[in-house]
């Protein structure tokens, strides 16, 4: 950014493209873990129609803790309210729209202790490793943890310990702290060098997707259109709204 400033260049971004896409993926992870869709799919392909090991639980009536109630968090809340969930929220800036939906803002300890499902929707760096050994100790037994936000929110080693001790029963992640060396590449013919990720992937109660929460036709269309709009405004010397600028126009 200092270099861009010295060259008189503006830096534009696409700050939001589809909160609903990530929210739907979040709830998809919850449903897949709770109803074991992934296991059932593999069984049926092998003509195994037995139900043993597929016992799930309903989302209706469960308490879900939403950490971060921006646009994506709010979109997730709207879906979960439709499922009949009780929503607890944690955010330094409460969202009036979430309160209007009946959500209750609580402190961090209360959210961890009371939630059946915890879903992360907050930015870095202030919340780095918000999921750690200490906070996991507060989580109620049989809880589910979902992260479709930033990999750095979770201390992976602490989560592995919680999974091994069976204190944390479900984990669904679309992001990973060291994903830059893994995601968006086909490594099927390679030897996995990340021992932490390899260990996470061995748990039968862990569901991992490769940062695809945003990956919908609608989201990609919005990304392209916003980028084109930014370029057009720059070429025509028009002002760009502040939320689309990483560095203010000179």
Residue 243 DSSP label: G
Residue 153 DSSP label: G
Please state, as a whole number, how many other Cβ atoms lie within 10 Å of the Cβ of residue 99. Answer: 13
The candidate with the shortest Cα–Cα distance to 196, out of 212, 177, 169, 214, is 177
- Rounded Cα–Cα distance for residues 15 and 21 (Å): 14
pLDDT given at position 239: 87
Q: What is the DSSP string of 1-60?
A: -HHHHHTT--EE----S-HHHHHHHHHHHHHHHHHTHHHHHHHHHTT----TT-----ST
pLDDT given at position 66: 98
If you average pLDDT over residues 182-186, what whole number do you get? 93
Domains of the chain, residue spans? 19-226
pLDDT given at position 242: 76
- Rounded Cα–Cα distance for residues 196 and 20 (Å): 30
User: Residue 187 to residues 85, 190, 195, 219: CA-CA distances in angstroms?
Assistant: 38, 5, 15, 26
Question: By CB neighbour count within 10 A (0-12 exposed, 13-18 middle, 19+ buried), where does 235 fall?
Answer: exposed
- Rounded Cα–Cα distance for residues 59 and 48 (Å): 26
Tens of pLDDT, residue by residue over 38-88, are 999 999 999 999 999 999 999 999 999 999 999 999 999 999 999 999 999
What is the model's pTM? 0.92
Written as six digits, the tokens of 231 are: 């370029």
The candidate with the shortest Cα–Cα distance to 214, out of 71, 78, 4, 18, is 18
Catalytic residues: 150, 179, 211
Q: Which helix (H) or strand (E) holds 134?
A: helix 133-138
Q: Among 81-85, 238-242, 245-249, which stretch is predicted with the lowest mean pLDDT? A: 245-249
> Pick the residue with more confidence: 80 or 248?
80
Tens of pLDDT, residue by residue over 121-149, are 999 999 999 999 999 999 999 999 999 99
User: Which residues make Cβ contacts (< 8 Å) with residue 47, sequence separation at least 6?
Assistant: none
> Pick the residue with more confidence: 105 or 13?
105
Look at residue 189 and tell me whether its pLDDT is greater than 70: yes
% the chain with pLDDT above 90: 86
Q: Give the CATH architecture of domain 19-226.
A: 3-Layer(aba) Sandwich (3.40)
Look at residue 247 and tell me whether its pLDDT is greater than 80: no
- Rounded Cα–Cα distance for residues 177 and 108 (Å): 22
Look at residue 250 and tell me whether its pLDDT is greater than 80: no
Look at residue 249 and tell me whether its pLDDT is greater than 60: no
């Amino acid at each position: 950014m200092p270099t861009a400033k010295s060259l008189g260049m503006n830096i534009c971004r696409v700050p939001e493209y589809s909160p609903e896409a990530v929210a739907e993926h979040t709830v998809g992870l919850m449903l897949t873990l709770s109803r074991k869709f992934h296991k059932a799919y593999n069984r049926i392909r092998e003509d195994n129609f037995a139900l043993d090991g597929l016992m799930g639980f309903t989302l209706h009536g469960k308490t879900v803790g939403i950490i971060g109630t921006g646009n994506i968090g709010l979109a997730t809340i709207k879906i979960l309210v439709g499922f009949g969930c009780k929503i607890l929220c944690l955010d330094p800036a409460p969202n009036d729209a979430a309160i209007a939906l009946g959500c209750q803002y609580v402190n961090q300890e209360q959210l961890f202790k009371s939630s059946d499902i915890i879903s992360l929707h907050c930015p870095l760096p202030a919340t780095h490793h918000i999921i750690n050994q200490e906070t996991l100790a507060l989580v109620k037994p049989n809880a589910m943890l979902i992260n479709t936000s930033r990999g750095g929110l979770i201390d992976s080693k602490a989560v592995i310990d919680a999974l091994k001790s069976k204190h944390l029963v479900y984990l669904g992640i679309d992001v990973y702290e060291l994903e830059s060396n893994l995601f968006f590449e086909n490594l099927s013919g390679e030897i996995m060098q990340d021992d932490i990720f390899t260990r996470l992937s061995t748990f039968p109660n862990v569901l991992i997707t490769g940062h695809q929460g945003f990956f919908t036709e609608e989201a990609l269309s919005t990304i392209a259109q916003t980028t084109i709009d930014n370029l057009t405004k720059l070429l025509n010397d028009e002002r760009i709204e502040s939320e689309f600028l990483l560095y203010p126009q000179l």
